[in-house]
């Protein structure tokens, strides 16, 4: 068992952790023991700046505060094709059409918050794809900032999972129906590195009451699949997730 802390920089809603970042964090022990695909489930809003225990029993990893399970993860699998590659041009136009600039439920979100700056947030701004061949799809052009990379320019697992998190929310119209990530099945197929441009995609799979199912993917500009995820988002009462605290860049 190890102890870890979710820094306030990595928030989604103002007072809790970014869903993709936390899902990636809890996926580590499962992936380290051979699982190519991992399913992470968030059980409660992940607390910020609080020491948490990360334990692994050989099958399941658990992130907890000692009494409450915050998130857990097990080996996973995909039963659908990845969210589609839309090409660099449509991705760039999607970024320009990002609806979060007009209405954003969580403007300080680490992944997609408009109140963030380069090197503080990821700035993955995925907007509607204006092409009838890609219904229910959003996309963004994205270049990772060196602030999130190691000495070799590679982004960590948590950051990559965060990058393929929020495009799913925007495909499900998070600006109209506030929601948070409930479950994420993810896979990183090759390193995500600085100095390279990527196409980020999210697509809506379906809606069942409060649950919104989405798929996301990260591609190289040549169409090579780099990372992907399938997600379940849960519609929420946004007043339960808005607090007076605001992120202050370090």
SS3 letters for 161-208? HHHCCHHHHHHCCCCCCCEEEEEEEEEECCCCECCCCEEEEEEEEEEE
* Global pTM value: 0.94
Q: Which of 159, 165, 160, 142 is CA-nearest to residue 214? A: 165
The rounded mean pLDDT for the chain is 95
List, for residues 4-45, the tens digit of each pLDDT value: 999 999 999 999 999 999 999 999 999 999 999 999 999 999
Backbone φ and ψ for 99, nearest 5 degrees, come out as -75, -15
CB 177 within 8 A of CB 237: no
CB 75 within 8 A of CB 47: no
Q: How confident is the model at residue 239 (pLDDT cuts 50, 70, 90)?
A: confident
Q: In which element (H, E) is residue 52 found? A: strand 51-56
Q: How far apart are alpha carbons 159 and 150 in whole angstroms? A: 11
Burial (Cβ within 10 Å: 0-12, 13-18, ≥19) of residue 211: middle
Q: How confident is the model at residue 81 (pLDDT cuts 50, 70, 90)?
A: very high
CB 116 within 8 A of CB 128: no
CB 68 within 8 A of CB 100: no
Cα angle 143, 149, 153; round to 5: 80
Q: How confident is the model at residue 245 (pLDDT cuts 50, 70, 90)?
A: very low
Lookup: tokens for 75: 């080996």
Average pLDDT score over residue span 165-171? 98
Average pLDDT score over residue span 60-72? 96
């Amino acid at each position: 068992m190890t102890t870890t802390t979710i820094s306030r920089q990595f928030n989604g809603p103002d007072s809790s952790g970014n869903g993709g970042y936390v899902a990636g964090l809890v996926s580590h022990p499962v992936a380290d023991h051979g699982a190519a695909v991992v399913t992470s489930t968030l059980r409660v809003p992940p607390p910020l700046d609080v020491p948490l225990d990360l334990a692994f029993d050989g099958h399941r990893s658990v992130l907890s505060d000692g009494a409450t399970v915050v998130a857990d993860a097990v080996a996973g699998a995909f039963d659908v094709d990845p969210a589609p590659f839309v090409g660099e041009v449509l991705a760039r136009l999607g970024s320009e059409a990002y609806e979060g600039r007009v209405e954003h439920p969580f403007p300080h979100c680490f992944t997609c918050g408009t109140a963030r700056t380069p090197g503080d947030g990821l700035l993955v701004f995925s907007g509607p794809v204006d092409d009838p061949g890609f219904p229910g799809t959003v996309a963004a052009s994205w270049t990772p900032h060196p602030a999130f990379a190691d000495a070799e320019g590679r982004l960590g697992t948590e950051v990559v999972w965060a990058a393929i998190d929020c495009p799913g929310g925007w495909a499900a119209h998070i600006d109209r129906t506030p929601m948070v990530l409930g479950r994420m099945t993810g896979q990183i197929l090759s390193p995500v590195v600085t100095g390279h441009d990527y196409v980020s995609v999210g697509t809506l799979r379906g809606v069942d009451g409060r649950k919104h199912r989405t798929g996301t993917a990260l591609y190289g500009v040549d169409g090579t699949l780099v990372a992907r995820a399938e997600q379940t988002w849960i519609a929420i009462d946004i007043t339960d997730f808005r607090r007076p605290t605001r992120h202050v860049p370090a």
